[in-house]
């Protein structure tokens, strides 16, 4: 591809040396270690590393051009083409879309943003569409599914070059649609630049991801979320969320809504509304039945607990109504949807409920535990730890939340990283001691799981919180294999009990 074709949609401030021969570009790279002769090197400024420092190296390695925001003082660029632009992260997204032949134009694209519910909603959308015979790719927190390959995720929303590469692979593999979790960080860093989503979904908003390396304050976090609705054709919003009116402000898309039609204070005029929720429990599995009205009229059931599962389902049904999916396909997919590490129930016993969830901060843990308490369990037992090399306040807060809402807490280890597990456990204890909650400490995670199973009572709800989909434990810079599902299987086998999953 020629350089002019790659940069034609990028707002260019100036071009040093001019583009005289419009060179053929051999590769588009943003990692200086991958600079090769004839490439276009895009200089990205990160927290620890600035690609602009490698412009001279790109010249020495005979790159055809660099795309940058500035040239460091005194740096020799030789006769290499130097294209200056205001924001190279945005430019990388636009150039990547061109490099891969604008793959989003070959797919129906769905972007989901919000503090909670992105992952479950994305899987619900994918399940519904595929039940209707619409092959659908996925980019999200747990994995990337390109229609043939499953790749473990590092970031919720990958770098823009990777996004375009995955979309191109989906189109090549016969996908007709792609659903993507769109993080605030991804929007802030223009990782979805270069295309317009067909549908954008807003699940909910609450304070999160504020701090060094993330967002400077909640206002910044909120404004980054809003960017999705300036780059989609139709926005589908949770009308019951406290920030709904702020999220639709300045949106350039068509607006649709979903919400609880029977909730006190809820808005009854949503395009897709739920009412008559009934919580269910059957042989240790928790679910919810509800009626959908508006654009669809359905009697639905989700094999996941709580009102937030209803909201996730409404978001997914709203999306799929744009695809002409049959009611049968929708209802079947909602009944069967399972998401690894998101209120993932393991059939350990018919006498009590046993689940795994990714809740790894106080806000997520409180939301989860309040939801589970609505099922009026005999006891609510929470098994969790906290990660090392992270804010100690998180430990105090999670301890206090669990002590206040759980009947029993089993404090254990998570990813201790460079810290001592017992030091982290002591911090959690500091938080839990502010409450009257009962607790025990079992530092080894497998032992903690075994303890919770050995001491389970009929009617209990036991949740292993914090690890979710993760299949490792990080200790002193090394990630050791550790999948909680395998740990549970081992515990059951050691006790001579049947393993049903």
Helix (H, G, I), strand (E, B) or coil at 275: strand
What's the pLDDT tens digit per position in 42-83? 999 988 899 999 999 999 999 999 999 999 999 989 889 999
What is the H or E stretch that residue 323 is in?
A: none
Q: Percentage helix, strand, coil, to 5, in the chain?
A: 35, 25, 40
Residues 6+ positions from 117 with CB-CB distance below 8 Å = 203, 204, 308, 311, 312, 315
Structure tokens at 298: 């359905």
66, β-bridge pairs: 41, 82
H helical segments located in 215-306? 218-226, 244-248
Structure tokens at 179: 């659903």
Helices (H), 118-210: 118-131, 160-172, 184-188
Give the whole-angstrom CA distance, residue 288 versus residue 307: 8
CB of 407 within 8 A of CB of 381?
yes
In CATH, what number does 100-336 get?
3.40.1190.10
The CATH H-level (homologous superfamily) assignment of domain 3-93 is MurE/MurF, N-terminal domain (3.40.1390.10)
Domain ranges of the chain: 3-93, 100-336, 344-494
What confidence score (pLDDT) does residue 266 get?
A: 42
**CATH of the structural domain 344-494, one choice from 1.20.140.10, 3.20.20.70, 3.90.190.20, 3.90.79.10:** 3.90.190.20
Q: What is the pLDDT along the chain (501 residues), one digit of tens a residue?
A: 999 999 999 999 988 866 667 899 999 999 999 999 999 999 999 888 999 999 999 999 999 999 999 999 999 898 899 999 999 999 999 999 999 999 999 999 999 999 999 999 999 999 999 999 999 999 999 999 999 999 999 889 999 999 999 999 999 999 999 999 999 999 999 999 999 999 999 999 986 655 556 667 888 889 999 999 999 999 999 999 999 999 999 999 999 999 997 654 444 579 999 999 999 999 889 999 999 999 999 999 999 999 999 999 999 999 999 999 999 999 999 999 999 999 999 999 999 999 999 999 999 999 999 999 999 999 999 999 999 999 899 999 999 999 999 999 999 999 999 999 999 999 999 999 999 999 999 999 999 999 999 999 999 999 999 999 999 999 999 999 999 999 999 999 999 999 999
Helices 327-336 + 307-320 axis angle, to 10: 140
Q: How far apart are CA 312 and CA 315, in angstroms?
A: 5
**Encoding tokens for residue 86?**
């205001």
Token couple for 271 = 């395009």
* Number of neighbours of residue 173 by Cβ within 10 angstroms: 14
pLDDT of residue 17: 66
C-alpha dist (Å) from residue 313 to 121, 388, 428: 7, 34, 34
Please give the pLDDT value at position 264: 47
């Amino acid at each position: 591809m020629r350089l002019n074709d790659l940069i034609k949609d990028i707002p260019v401030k100036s071009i040093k040396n001019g583009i005289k021969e419009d060179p053929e570009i051999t590769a588009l790279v943003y990692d200086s270690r991958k600079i090769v002769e004839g490439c276009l090197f895009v200089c990205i400024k990160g927290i620890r590393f600035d690609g602009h420092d490698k412009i001279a190296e790109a010249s020495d390695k005979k790159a055809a051009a660099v795309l940058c925001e500035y040239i460091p003082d005194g740096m020799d660029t030789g006769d290499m083409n130097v294209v200056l632009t205001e924001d190279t992260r945005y430019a990388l997204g636009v150039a990547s879309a061109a490099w891969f032949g604008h793959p989003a134009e070959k797919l129906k694209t769905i972007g989901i943003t919000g503090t909670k519910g992105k992952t479950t909603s994305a899987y619900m959308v994918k399940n519904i569409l595929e039940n209707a015979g619409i092959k659908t790719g996925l980019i999200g927190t747990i994995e990337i599914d390109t229609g043939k390959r499953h790749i473990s995720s590092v970031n919720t929303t990958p770098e823009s070059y990777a996004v375009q590469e995955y979309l191109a692979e989906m189109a090549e593999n016969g996908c007709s649609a792609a659903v993507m979790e769109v993080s605030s960080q991804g929007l802030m860093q223009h990782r979805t630049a270069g295309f317009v989503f067909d549908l954008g979904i807003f699940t909910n908003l609450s304070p999160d991801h504020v701090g060094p390396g993330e967002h400077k304050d909640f206002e910044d976090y909120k404004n980054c979320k809003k960017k999705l609705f300036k780059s989609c054709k139709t926005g589908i919003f949770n009308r019951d969320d406290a920030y709904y009116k702020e999220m639709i402000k300045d949106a350039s898309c068509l607006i649709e809504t979903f919400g609880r039609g029977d909730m006190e204070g809820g808005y009854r005029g949503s395009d897709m509304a739920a009412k008559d929720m009934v919580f269910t429990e059957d042989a240790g599995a928790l679910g919810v039945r509800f009626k959908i009205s508006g654009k669809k009229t359905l009697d639905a059931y989700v094999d996941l607990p709580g009102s937030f599962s209803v909201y996730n389902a409404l978001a997914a049904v709203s999306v799929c109504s744009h695809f002409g999916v049959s009611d049968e396909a929708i209802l079947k997919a909602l009944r069967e949807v399972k998401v690894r590490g998101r209120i993932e129930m393991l059939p350990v016993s018919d006498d009590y409920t046993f689940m795994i969830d990714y809740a790894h901060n106080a806000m997520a843990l409180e939301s989860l535990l309040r939801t589970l308490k609505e099922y009026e369990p005999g006891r609510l037992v929470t098994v969790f730890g906290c990660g090392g090399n992270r804010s100690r306040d998180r430990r105090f807060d999670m301890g206090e939340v669990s002590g206040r809402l759980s009947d029993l807490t089993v404090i254990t280890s998570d990813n201790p990283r460079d810290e001592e597990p017992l030091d982290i456990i002591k911090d959690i204890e500091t938080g839990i001691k502010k409450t009257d909650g009962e607790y025990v400490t079992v530092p080894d995670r497998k032992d903690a799981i075994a303890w919770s199973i050995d001491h389970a009572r009929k009617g209990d709800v036991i949740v292993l919180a914090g690890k979710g989909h993760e299949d490792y434990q990080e200790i002193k810079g090394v990630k050791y294999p550790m999948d909680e599902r395998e740990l549970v299987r081992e515990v059951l086998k050691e006790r001579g009990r049947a393993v049903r999953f």
